[in-house]
Structure 1
């Protein structure tokens, strides 16, 4: 029995950097309106960080230099590439009707490399705003075509993905689809990253089903490190909260004769949990066991989440004991899930019990665990306990993150302690924790609701001066740019 458990666990460990990196699943227990990313949000970050390769390895020459000379060559290459990219970007931004941008770029004599392309496209992304989306999309494509015309250069898949990302930010759905067709035609495989870029954009436009069908039929879809392309698609759909499509793809997968594995079952079970389909969740669990797979720590986390949000602390405790009996030792992630779910049900005493239990079994509460507990106290109107917990976590070396600060700021605002809330905003910045838009929105909207218009204006003014989320200012309640 234990050998089967360990076998199932190893499958998930292979995909752990996609599923559980930086406590991603646990993060999912916290609501968006509290300023927390759901479980799916961090999944979108993984491919972005892993595939934003600048292509330096393709450009660097491996010659028999000593260490210092290699570093010197590398530094010189990077500096030249960044300088060239800066010149190209400046030229592109001067583009206007009647100008010959292609000739102007040719005259720069900048050697085109993967790094130069990356720097220019990322530079365009940084300049992208609400008012210049169409212009940025055209400039990026114009530059992309110009680079592709160079005999000494061939675009990489990463170049295509960066351009897709610009099109995505600009809402250019048709251009994205055309680019993928071009990508396939040029011999590049469409990967999970390609799918993620497309599904994240088209899902918001209501075109998710069409995109999924296209990828299911595509034989060029590369699915590393997943067992098959269906798992890659299911994983991506989970990341963008397309839960209904998860179920549909799962049925298509079975019709095509593919057998689900532990990862498949976990994703589909979680989707059904989010859809509130408890009966189907447990039917899938039965199917999983009948197919010879044992629940792993990810499966148990889903079940604990279901029991906790259903206000069943005793059943959750029994499940923890069962996990130990079958050789799956509960970790901090499981206790955090319980605390989060129970806090949603307003069971703060049960949350405190499991917080103590976390320490008793030798698990060290991390920043996510503390933040979930603090959020529970705030939602329950227990500001003093939240402040005490905030102090405890810092004393024990767990540095608050942006979500922790957002909960505390919200708590102070709810209690009418706006001076403390504003002070906390300055504290987080001094500690190198940059406020996100939710933090600013929480503080500004609460100040305005309390009639403290001057203080709210000062926060917005500070945000603008620092260049933070200027394009989102119109979304702040009752605020209009002058």
Structure 2
């Protein structure tokens, strides 16, 4: 299989007899795959349960009120919960030695509901910064325990998850583990969402494998919406780039007698690609086909990514043609993946060729595709072509995003055009595209490197006045807050 694709003459030939059947474009509700890059090109696997992190019982309240004829009742409930949350947050802020927080909360006499808990915890999460994270974690837990002690109220699993999220943001790993123990003790099953929150934190602490082993052995692990627990674990490990651990979990899965499905294969294949294990990638592809699974939308995306970064445009072109022949029409995602990989290999002419080809077949470039092209031109030192592409995308109705602006600002700085770079920063703000810290850092550090200290200071001053990333200012090169 490897030699077939590398020769550029025929792609995925061994799989062709499986591809005449109808295609399955989505596997277990997910969408592929990868890591966050400077261009925002690769999207992580996303599943429906990820959007539930902020529900925290609101669904129950919504169902209760939906049958009421008077919409004013629902409105009063929502307004009451928000008002109560505001009072609770104000009280929590008074917490200090000698202040009885529990008594103060009792005196508020606010009705406890899932929505109130959500509003308070989200409010704490929004105020969290590097300087106050320990205090925020303590206040969130105090409030959580107080709510749990009230009559006629029981936390939902989503309430636990939101508190876990606060602990994760605060780096409170031990507190997260204790909370999971409490969750299981109170009869709540740990889910894929629980595991995902925990692995995102402990992965950075070097404890990922211990957590994985704990969840594999746990009888309380409920892995909806995945087929089995191993897919839930693999999916989460992919999101935190634990590629080596993915290999280990996959081997454990086989040893335990579980059979992989399309989602499993896609994740393990992508991990192999990231680890540079090309032979294993194609060996897995062969195994996938032998098991009766046809390569799907995401499998092809992985293969295109591999071919593009490996500087094999001819093989990639053959693969695109093959996809059309077997009924999997290449989308803007496939073309963008291909263009991104080729731009990283410095093949800008090939990038432009494939972008023109996608337009010819009626597949219109989106903001991500344009951004990838612009970033490629910037990296290749072709600022004028990047400017032309930037102009074209706005004329075609594609609004630049923060990654697009950052690439252009970086390009102007590289060319010494600091006035244009500063002007572009103001433009993106006026268009409602809020600069992230990378944008500010790019401009400030380049200005300082060029000796334009006053201009750099003005950018930082503007950032502070707007309240943007104040807690990260110390990370700006040679900058100290006065």
Task: Tell me, yes or no, whether TM beats 0.5.
Answer: yes
* Aligned 8 A contact 1:11 1:262 in 2: no
- Indicate conservation of the 8 Å contact 1:43/1:239, yes or no: yes
Q: Residue 90 of structure 1: CA displacement?
A: 1.0
In structure 2, list runs of 5 or more residues that go unmatched: none
Counterparts in 2 of 1:290 and 1:21: CA distance versus 1, 3 Å: closer
Cα distance per residue 1:284-313 (max 9 Å; x no partner): 111111111111121111111111101111
Q: Decide whether the 8 Å contact of 2:444 with 2:459 is kept in 1.
A: yes
In structure 2, the residue matched to 1:41 is 43
Deviation at 1:409, TM superposition (A): 0.8
CA contact (8 A) 2:6 2:315 kept: no
* Cα contact 1:5–1:295 (8 A) shared by 2: no
Shift in Å, 1:22: 24
Tell me: CA distance 1:291–1:362, structure 2 relative to 1, closer, same or farther (3 Å): same
Deviation of residue 79 (structure 1)? 1.1
Tell me, yes or no, if the aligned pair for 2:5 and 2:315 is still in contact at 8 Å: no
Q: Distance in 2 between matches of 1:316 and 1:11?
A: 9
The number of residues matched between the two structures is 477
- Report Cα offsets for 1:159-198 as digits up to 9, x if no partner: 1011111111111111100100110111111111111110
Contact preservation (8 Å) 1:189, 1:221: yes
CA deviations 1:18-65 (Å, max 9, x no partner) are: 999999999998874567xxx7775579755333115333x648789x
Q: Which runs of 5+ in 1 are unaligned?
A: none
Q: Once the 2 structures are TM-superposed, how far is the Cα of residue 325 of structure 1 from its aligned partner?
A: 2.1
d(CA) in 2 for partners of 1:18 and 1:416? Answer: 55
Structure 1 residues 5 and 217: alpha-carbon distance in aligned structure 2, compared to 1, 3 A threshold: farther
Task: Write the distance in 1 (CA, Å) between the matches of 2:146 and 2:16.
Answer: 40
- Note if contact 1:60-1:74 (Cα within 8 Å) is conserved in structure 2: no
Q: Counterpart of 2:27?
A: 26
**What per-residue deviation string (whole Å, max 9, x for no partner) do you get for residues 387-442 of structure 1?**
11111111111111111111111111111111111111111111111111111111
2:52·2:158 contact (CA, 8 Å) conserved in 1? no
User: CA 1:30–1:92 in structure 2 vs 1: closer, same or farther (change >3 Å)?
Assistant: closer
**Cα distance in 2, alignment partners of residues 368 and 274 from structure 1:** 21
Return closer, same or farther for 1:315/1:63 CA change in 2, 3 Å cut-off: closer
Q: In structure 1, how many angstroms separate the alpha carbons of the residues matched to 2:16 and 2:77?
A: 35
Identify the range of structure 1 (266-275 vs 328-337) with the bigger mean alpha-carbon deviation.
Answer: 328-337
Higher relative contact order (CA 8 A, sep 6+): 2
CA distance in 2 between counterparts of 1:125 and 1:72 reads: 29
Change in 2 beyond 3 A, CA 1:130/1:21: farther
Give the whole-Å Cα distance in 1 for the aligned partners of 2:265 and 2:462. Answer: 48
Aligned equivalents of 1:16, 1:84: Cα separation in 2: 61
Contact persistence 2:91–2:101 (CA under 8 A): yes
Matched residue of 2:129: which SS? Answer: coil
When you count helix as a share of all residues, which structure comes out higher? 1
Which stretch of the first structure deviates more once superposed, 18-27 or 406-415? 18-27
Change (3 A) 1:199 1:164: same
Would the alpha carbon gap of residues 40 and 104 (structure 1) be closer, same or farther in structure 2, given more than 3 Å must change?
A: farther
Aligned to 1:424: 424
Name the CA shift for 1:417/1:22 in 2 (closer, same or farther; >3 Å): farther
Distance (Å, rounded) in 1 between the aligned partners of 2:115 and 2:278: 49
Which one is further off, 41-50 or 217-226? 41-50
Contact 2:375/2:407 (8 A) holds in 1 = yes
Taking a change above 3 Å as real, the CA distance of residues 447 and 162 of structure 1, as seen in their structure-2 partners, is same
Provide the TM-score with structure 2 as the length reference. 0.90
Change (3 A) 1:114 1:410: same
* Contact 2:190 2:222 (8 Å CA) reproduced: yes
Does the 8 Å contact 1:378/1:411 carry over to 2? yes
Equivalent-residue separation in structure 1 for 2:330 and 2:118 (angstroms): 43
Structure 1 contact 2–327 (Cα < 8 Å) conserved: no
Please tell me whether the aligned partners of residues 4 and 294 of structure 1 are also in contact (alpha carbons under 8 angstroms): no
377-386 or 1-10, which deviates more: 1-10
Which shifted more, 268-277 or 326-335? 326-335
Aligned counterpart, 1:55? 57
8 Å CA contact 1:18–1:43 kept in 2: the answer is no
In the TM superposition, what is the alpha-carbon distance from 1:71 to its structure 2 partner? Answer: 2.3
Q: CA deviation at 1:138?
A: 1.2
Change (3 A) 1:272 1:19: farther
Residues in 1 aligned to 2:53 and 2:22: alpha-carbon distance in whole angstroms? 18
Change (3 A) 1:2 1:277: closer
Q: Deviations over 1:216-275 (max 9, x none)?
A: 111222222211111111111101100001111100110111100111000000001001
Closer, same or farther: CA 312–2 of 1 in aligned 2, 3 Å:
closer
Residues 171 and 10 of structure 1: CA distance in aligned 2, closer, same or farther (over 3 Å): farther
Q: How many Å apart are 1:469 and its aligned residue?
A: 1.1
Residue 3 of structure 1: how far off its partner (Å): 27
**How big is the shift at 1:457?**
1.1
Q: SS of the counterpart of 2:44?
A: helix
Aligned-residue CA RMSD (Å): 5.7
Are the structure 2 counterparts of residues 7 and 337 from structure 1 closer, same or farther at C-alpha, using a change threshold of 3 Å?
Answer: closer
Q: Do the aligned partners of residues 131 and 391 (structure 1) sit closer, same or farther apart at CA in structure 2, a change above 3 Å counting?
A: same
Moved more, 120-129 or 206-215: 120-129
Question: What is the distance in 1 between the residues matched to 2:174 and 2:19?
Answer: 31
